């Protein structure tokens, strides 16, 4: 492919986003086309995206949760997408953003951690895992500039410090450790408010699990891209706990019981308020 050439009236200057728009629309000679594979042939809004994920630290570890809905623009493209994955025995990743690149990044991350442990004979530290994931998010920046954004949450049990830890990322790969909780995705604003109001230091695992379920439930009520629990289809959020015993996913039977209690609490609260929405 030849280098792009610009006339005096269509040169975007230092604006990289404008360059991408011109290239995609064929606004200059030598523009990359879809067949070359250098730019996506579809709009980012047509690509399935995962949405809201939450992490909360409790007294013995971390609870990591994500809803099950994937959207493509205004279309619900999947009701059962998985957004929470084990990274290794003592850590996990929750993804938000373009579903394809996100799941591919997680698989590669899992492979790298396994490879390191086999070569070195010992697992990489939790801090090292967080740094490695940040480098992978940074490597995705060119795709993110085209709309294929990946913004994960990484959480795990630090065996050296004997406590749970949570890390957030921005689109450039910037890594930020959160003390108690984190949220990402389109419904993160609503979920984060619920978590902030309900979080208590040294929460038990059961209380932290109920809190993340409540956060996702409220987010689904305010954000159309976040899926709520669906008992009819047996669709519930993916919720995992990570502690000294490792990564464990909570089964749907327990989530159903907790969700039913959650709905009863919200119904009782609404009735006590006189039926106000």
Quote the strand ranges of the chain, DSSP E.
Answer: 49-50, 53-58, 61-66, 70-72, 75-78, 84-88, 91-94, 97-98, 153-158, 163-169, 175-178, 181-184, 238-243, 246-249
Check if 51 is active-site: yes
End-to-end CA distance of the chain: 58
Using an 8 Å Cβ cutoff, are 169 and 179 in contact? no
**pLDDT digits (tens), the chain, 277 positions:** 455 665 656 666 666 666 666 666 655 444 444 334 454 455 666 778 878 999 999 999 999 999 999 998 888 999 999 999 999 999 999 999 999 999 999 999 999 999 999 999 999 999 999 999 999 999 999 999 988 999 999 999 999 999 999 999 999 999 999 999 999 999 999 999 999 999 999 899 999 999 999 999 999 999 999 999 999 999 999 999 999 999 999 999 999 999 999 999 989 988 887 765 5
Reading phi first (left if > 0) and then psi (alpha if -120 to 50, else beta), residue 128 is in alpha
Report angle CA 240, 180, 228 to the nearest 5 degrees: 45
- Could you tell me the domains of the chain? 45-269 (3.60.20.10)
The pLDDT of residue 39 is: 47
pLDDT given for residue 73 in this prediction: 85
Instruction: Provide the pLDDT for residue 17.
Output: 66
Specify whether the CB–CB gap between 54 and 182 falls below 8 A. yes
Res 50: pLDDT? 76
Residue 183's pLDDT is what? 97
Q: Are 32 and 167 in contact (CB under 8 A)?
A: no
Please count the other Cβ atoms lying within 10 Å of the Cβ belonging to residue 138: 16
* Prediction pTM value: 0.82
What's the pLDDT score for residue 64? 98
């Amino acid at each position: 492919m030849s280098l792009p050439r610009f006339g005096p009236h269509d040169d975007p200057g230092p604006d990289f986003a404008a360059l991408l728009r011109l290239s995609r629309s064929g606004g200059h000679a030598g523009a990359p086309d879809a067949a070359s594979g250098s730019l996506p042939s579809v709009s980012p809004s047509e690509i399935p995206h995962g949405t809201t994920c939450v992490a909360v630290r409790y007294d013995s570890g971390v609870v990591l949760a994500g809803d099950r809905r994937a959207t493509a623009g205004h279309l619900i493209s999947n009701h059962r997408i998985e957004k929470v994955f084990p990274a290794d025995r003592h850590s996990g990743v929750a993804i938000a953003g373009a579903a394809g690149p996100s799941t591919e990044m997680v698989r590669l991350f899992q492979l790298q951690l396994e490879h390191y442990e086999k070569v070195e004979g010992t697992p990489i530290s939790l801090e090292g895992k967080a740094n490695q994931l940040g480098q992978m998010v940074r490597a995705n920046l060119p795709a993110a500039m085209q709309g294929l954004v990946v913004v994960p949450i990484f959480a795990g049990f630090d065996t050296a410090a004997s406590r749970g830890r949570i890390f957030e990322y921005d689109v450039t790969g910037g890594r930020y450790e959160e003390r108690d909780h984190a949220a990402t995705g389109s419904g993160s604003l609503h979920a984060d408010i619920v978590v902030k109001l309900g979080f208590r230091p040294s929460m038990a695992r059961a209380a932290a699990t109920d809190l993340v379920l409540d956060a996702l439930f409220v987010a689904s009520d305010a954000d159309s891209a976040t899926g709520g629990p669906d008992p009819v289809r047996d669709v519930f959020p993916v919720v995992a706990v990570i502690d000294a015993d490792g990564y464990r996913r909570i089964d749907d039977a327990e989530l159903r019981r907790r969700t039913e209690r959650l709905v009863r609490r919200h119904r009782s609260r609404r009735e006590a308020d006189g039926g106000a929405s």
